[in-house]
Structure 1
Amino acid sequence: MYSKLRTIICITGADGSGKSTLVRALKKKWPHAHEVSIWDMLENTQVQVFSNKKDIDEYLCQLNADARLLFLAHAMEAAIDRALQSDSDIILINAYYYKYFASELAMGADKVLEDFLALRMPAPDKVIFLSHPPELNAARKKRFSKYECGCREATYQNFINFQQRSVLQLEKYIKPEWCVLNAALEPEELCALALKSITE
């Protein structure tokens, strides 16, 4: 079905929209696919900088928006580079830079810097965008991180307030060729629609 050239598929959307769930479902269909997350390099056991995601959350919230943008871009680029060195012909990216850069723009990051860093990222062959209101995303989550709340106290209201701003930035990335899916659908239906879009 796929040539030996890499096929890059991105599943993106706001926090709590179901990206990881869809990625796991697609991975079951394509077990040979190389799954990529921005956290891959940050969780590298050979270079143990952080002991857990809470440490990462605390660290990120100590930086300003531009510093976070550089840090997250480095983590994403390193994860992509490692994926490109794998034998897999399908690279399945969870969130990608769209979600993280949108969050930083919502916290005041420099748009010129964001544009420059975005140019360094490979363009996916297919993007699936999961659309879902922040209020419903919040209901899906067991807990919130400070980062998801705009580096403020991890509360329901801070999550909603920040996610509303972040989604406005995230939606600016949408292109006509992207597949936008209603994330309120059942996971099985979402997976079927995503597969149909990817294979068309």
Structure 2
Amino acid sequence: MNERQPVRRPGGRSARVTAEVHRAVTALIGERGYGGFTVGDVAARAGVADSSVYRRWGNLETLLTDVALTRLDARSPMPDTGSLDGDLRTYAAQVAREITGPDGPAVVRLAVALSGNGEQGLKAGDELRAARMRQLQAVLDRPRERGEPAPDALDVLDHVLAPMYIRVLFGLVPLTPEYVDGLVDRLLYPRP
């Protein structure tokens, strides 16, 4: 018996629904904050049925995790400039643009809120941190393969990424290129 599998087209209606639902979530996070809306609110804002959201994501926490992972996972390729200095500066600049973009602050607040909200929230926080650490490790592995000494991923997190996230969370933006480069300088070229 030859069972036919549904053909999924990249793009198409499914991609449009996902994009609209994600936009609705980030808009609602920006307006009302975490916990200030329901699946029904998201569906209404996105122009889809509640059942579509439940069918695809199951519940609000799973949807919020998907939005945060998608937005903070920065699908852009990891930089390969030929040097640790160049790679780290380029990566830090990408992260700065990502977290200060139109939806950036709302998504950062969402990630923080998710990681402190019960077992599912802790899992979401773990997934977000793991995604960011995979990116960071990819940036650091390439220089090591070339024989360049590279800092530990947690050092980059503590000295470059964390200050940027804190500034976004407390509204201390913009993250100027000079500020971001200064974070990288302090990590790579510490003064005695």
Larger relative contact order, structure 1 or 2 (CA cutoff 8 Å, min sep 6): 1
TM-score (norm 2): 0.35
Structure exhibiting the larger radius of gyration computed from Cα positions: 2
Q: Determine which structure has the larger helix proportion and give its number.
A: 2
TM-score (norm 1): 0.34
Q: Determine which structure has the larger strand proportion and give its number.
A: 1
